[in-house]
Structure formats: structure tokens, C-alpha cells
Structure 1
């Protein structure tokens, strides 16, 4: 059964979520106060409507409480973001994800009951900075303030060695969860599997431990 999503705010962030959800085959209601934006997504989303979501009666009329997940992607208007989130919570929406502008905004959103808070610009900035600093890092996903999942390209220093030879868990306190090789993804690789230059290790662990591993294995 298809899940039903509502996306409030059709700027770059909200619009990209609408497109991604539709590509995944989901039902998506797109909402914005700007008529031009709504018209842009009228042929993309399942439904697109003009509406002021700081008005409780507007959200009620849309049957918002019946949606499985509502994403509040309102741009720079923090007050509208907070009011919308508060009303959604009071109406009993099952799951609410909200885009935060800053740490103070996030604290308020958490206090009023947002289930998930995201910082797309900040998080993307960290990912880009991390990949620039290390030539061996392809991608970086922050799990918490201290832990991440990172894709690391196998260097010549690791060429031909097995998972057992590297002994990464004992030496660095991190885990290899998968290996990408060409178009193949090897999940939970065996200890005696050799790795090759150009393979991509997907590792998980504390940032400090991952950094130590990167420095030891860079060509």
C-alpha cells in the first residue's frame, strides 16, 4: 500500500523531496502559499494546493491528520515553520519532519514535538568539507555529533589484504559494513575476502577513529 506524504513549502529543499517521493511511487500532496510554485508542481505531485498552513482550518480542510508523514520545508520564515509544526502536532499527525534554519530553531521544534529535524545546508556543508579534506573519502553521512558512515576508496596500501589482515575493528574501533566493487555491493564481507585498489569500503564508527584510519591508509 502506498504511503501518503504531504510536503509544506516548495522551495529547493521541499521541491526536491516532492520529486524524490514521487519517483519512489508515493502519494504526495504539495502545499505552498506561492501560486507559481504550486503551479510548477501541479503536474509533478499527486496533488498541489495553495494554502497558508499557519491556519488550522486550512490544514483540517486538507485532511492533514490522515497523512502518514508531513514534511515542513518552509524556507526562511521561522515563525511560520514553528506555527505549522505546532498545529500539525495538535491535529495528531503521525510523523513530522521539519527543516531547521539554525540550532535555536531546532530546539524549539523539538520542544513542540517535531519527530525529526533536519539541517540540509549545514549537513551538506559538512559532507563537502569532509570530502575535500580527504581525497580517499567519497561520501560522508553524519549519524550523530560523534559517529558517521563514510565511503573510503581502497588505496594501494590496502591492496590485496583481507579484512582479517587489516584488523580494522581491533586497531581502529570501526566496522566495515559493506564493500562496493564495480556495480556490486558486498554486504557484511567475510574476513578472508581480499580487497582491491579502487574498491570502496563503507565503514561506520566514531569520527575520531575513522579519521585515524583514513590517515594511516592514504597513499
Structure 2
């Protein structure tokens, strides 16, 4: 997948962006639980792009803005490490 490697190389080396793909667990008390991708404002407020939602044995790739996030879901997301850590903390609790 040379284009993917090229994209990540360009973003991290030439543009000085440190990108990472991470897994974010939605806790039972998460303020994201019950919200849609759009109303969670993960991308708008934290700069993190949700690539997929893992729920049970299923995986929803490229979720639509109206796809709902549920407690127990795992979000597969891309962003800078600090941004991903912020979303992980928010996803774990209501704070």
C-alpha cells in the first residue's frame, strides 16, 4: 500500500504532523455513549477522525455522521497522540 505509506510519511515527516491510529473504548458512563458521530463532536472539538466503530463482532467502517456510539463500542480513530489521549480520557467517563 504505497499510497498509504506515502500519506503517513508526508504527514509525519514533511508536514511535521505526528499521526497515530488508536483504539478508543467507550465506557458505560462515557459522555459519548448514546450520541451520534456528529453530535459527539470528536472531530470538530478534538481533531480526531473516527475511521470505524467496532461493536461486538461487527465493524462499521467510515461511519456516517448519524451513526450512534454506544457504551462498549471501540472507536478506531486517527489523530495526533495527544488528541487521541484526550478522547480516550473523555470516552472513559462523563468528565
Of the candidates 60, 69, 73, which is equivalent to residue 195 of structure 1?
69
* Residue in 2 that maps onto 1:166: 40
SS at match of 1:192: coil
In structure 1, stretches of 5+ residues that fail to align are: 1-142
Aligned twin of 2:19: 147
> What residue number does 1:37 align with?
none
SS at match of 1:179: strand
Higher relative contact order (CA 8 A, sep 6+): 2
Q: Structure 2: 5+ residue runs without aligned partners?
A: 1-10
Aligned residue pairs total 77
8 Å contact kept, 2:48–2:83 = yes
* TM-score, normalised by the number of residues in structure 1: 0.33
What are the superposed Cα offsets for residues 127-160 of structure 1, whole Å, 9 maximum, x if unpaired? xxxxxxxxxxxxxxxx958221001111222221
Q: Report the Cα distance in structure 2 between the residues aligned to 1:182 and 1:217, rounded to whole angstroms.
A: 17
Could you list the runs of 4 or more consecutive aligned residues of structure 1 that deviate by over 4 angstroms after TM superposition?
A: none
CA drift of 1:215 comes to 2.2
**Offset from partner CA, 1:57-94 (integer Å, 9 cap, x none):** xxxxxxxxxxxxxxxxxxxxxxxxxxxxxxxxxxxxxx
User: Which has the higher Rg, Structure 1 or Structure 2?
Assistant: 1
Q: Deviations over 1:178-199 (max 9, x none)?
A: 0111111100111111111111
Q: TM-score, normalised by structure 2?
A: 0.72
Alignment of 1:1-219 (within 5 A): 146-155=18-27, 156-157=29-30, 158-219=32-93
